[in-house]
Amino acid sequence: MNGAIDLRQFRYFLAVSEELHVGRAAARLHISQPPLSRQIRQLEEQLGVSLFVRTKVGMTLTRAGAALVPEVRLTLAQADKAVAAARAASGAKGGQFVVGYTTVFDRSAIPDVFEPLQKRFPDWRIVSKGKHSINLVRDIKNGAMDVAFIGLHTEARGLEVRTLREEPVIAALPASHPLARKRGLGFDDLRGESIFRFERRLNPGFYDHCQAFFERIGFQPRTVPEPDDHHILLGLIAEGRGIAFISASLQNVKRKGVVFRPLKAEARGLTSGIAVAYAKDNPSPLLARFLEFVGVEAQRKAKSRSAR
């Protein structure tokens, strides 16, 4: 192994391993793509192994890369704990509080508590990270994250989970589609249509929730792969590539060529929403105040929606 490896390289590697896309990882890290690619290549050279297989459509982890991921997570979590312990022992003020949020929902659906929390605790560094819900749960369990806004129905055994918002699933379809002329859609209307569906590995809990509902009503969708980013998804719908079941709050994201239609009464069991998850034994002094802010903001948003 040539040269010393620093924690920044590990953080960069972990972001790419979770996104499997340099562009999305760079956006998440708030850096441009070229330096991120250079850091990954440098890490591979230092380790003497290939960590990713690069293709025209994306990336996959090699066996060496997959083996490195859990060790990197543990290393980063331990480094954060070491810093916190040193600061606590010295009596230093402040610290770091890491908040995650699911990237499946538009940020407008997430309670906006970051600014008031930062004002209340100016000596603390409040960090926000957007990821898939299962990755947020894993980070909390590993000690790399304090709290997160996750999607409802996500498997989060061992954590405290508080539901903040539950809403119906609606259909997003091309404005030019014949079904767009209807005010509401039933699942009989959608038989034979191309339906965007995410991979189960991205959120097994929510996937199984949807699958159980489909089986209960006897609906077998003809599926096409759903992209991770909802802006890309809406773009594909506008192009006529298919129809998607999305959270009702996503209709706030306007996209030319896309219309949103409610699903009829038979779909009442198909819901999505947002919950806040955290470890019960998290010792951070900010956690209780964060949950307080979240509760107040969630109530404010609920009143605002009911007043419309």
Model pLDDT for residues 289-302, shown as the tens digit of each residue: 898 888 878 777 66
As a whole number, mean pLDDT of residues 283-291 equals: 86
As a whole number, mean pLDDT of residues 128-153 equals: 92
**How far is the C-alpha of 144 from the C-alpha of 78, rounded, in Å?**
8
**How far is the C-alpha of 40 from the C-alpha of 36, rounded, in Å?**
6
**How far is the C-alpha of 206 from the C-alpha of 153, rounded, in Å?**
5
pTM exceeds 0.75: no
DSSP 244: E
**How far is the C-alpha of 157 from the C-alpha of 52, rounded, in Å?**
31
**How far is the C-alpha of 233 from the C-alpha of 242, rounded, in Å?**
9
pLDDT value at position 304? 65
Model confidence at 308: pLDDT above 60: no
Quick check: 137 and 277 in contact, CB under 8 A? Answer: yes
**How far is the C-alpha of 54 from the C-alpha of 62, rounded, in Å?**
10
Q: Looking at this protein, which amino acid is placed at residue 166?
A: E
CB atoms inside a 10 Å sphere around CB 284: 18
Q: Looking at this protein, which amino acid is placed at residue 175?
A: A
**How far is the C-alpha of 146 from the C-alpha of 113, rounded, in Å?**
14
Model pLDDT for residues 100-121, shown as the tens digit of each residue: 999 888 777 888 888 888 888 8
Model confidence at 122: pLDDT above 90: no
